[in-house]
Amino acid sequence: MTHLAIFASGTGSNARKIIEHFKNSPDVRVALVVSNKKDAGVLDIARAHDIPTQVLARKMFYETEDLLGILKQHDIGFIVLAGFLWLIPSYLVQSFDKKMVNIHPALLPKYGGKGMFGRHVHEAVKANGETETGITIHYVNEHYDEGDIVFQARCPVRPEDTPEDIARKVQQLEHQHFPLVVEHLVRAS
């Protein structure tokens, strides 16, 4: 049985899809949800599914390695970042080498890096007149959005699309693919 931890800062729609996807899995279980925000919607989703939660303080995350002990207590073998906005410190990158993935709402290496999250991404895609965008799932290293890419999916951007329209299409791709790609990577890891 592989235990997953999901890290998220926001509403957690992707976390929800992943939790639901693995609900009846015989060999993969979402065993912990971690957030840096104590009022994040993702924590309510976790509680509704009886999944343990952990709220992170910045000092603990960056100045200690206490989180490794917590992950060990829950026997975590794989980490999924689903809208987690803090940069991952190197002790965690090294402990979960090729066992930690992030999802980004654009076709990296375009529209990635610090500050490129949420509507900022889709506004930039629109402003540049892109004709397509999509999602990228990648392993995590010490830099924002730079680890090895493992999966991309694309969708068209029409001239009349607003950033909100683009966000909707991209979210649909995320929900469609992220749980399946995570399942594939966990099995292969």
User: What positions carry a catalytic annotation?
Assistant: 104
Least spacing, CB of residue 51 vs ligand GRF, in Å: 15
Contact 152, 134 (CB under 8 A): yes
CB atoms near residue 4 (< 10 Å) = 25
Least spacing, CB of residue 89 vs ligand GRF, in Å: 18
Q: Which is nearer to ligand GRF, 15 or 51 (CB)?
A: 15
| Residue 29, beta-bridge partner list | 3
Least spacing, CB of residue 38 vs ligand GRF, in Å: 16
Q: Which is nearer to ligand GRF, 68 or 141 (CB)?
A: 141
Q: Which is nearer to ligand GRF, 72 or 168 (CB)?
A: 168
SS3 168: helix
Q: What angle (nearest 5°) sits at the alpha carbon of residue 49, between those of residues 43 and 54?
A: 35
Residue 67: in which H helix or E strand, if any? helix 66-73
Cβ burial, residue 146 (10 Å; 0-12/13-18/19+): middle
**What does the binding site for ligand GRF look like in residue numbers (CB under 6 A)?**
8, 10-15, 82-83, 103-105, 174
Least spacing, CB of residue 72 vs ligand GRF, in Å: 26
Q: Which is nearer to ligand GRF, 105 or 179 (CB)?
A: 105
The Cα 20–Cα 42 span in angstroms is: 13
* Residue whose beta carbon is closest to ligand GRF: 83
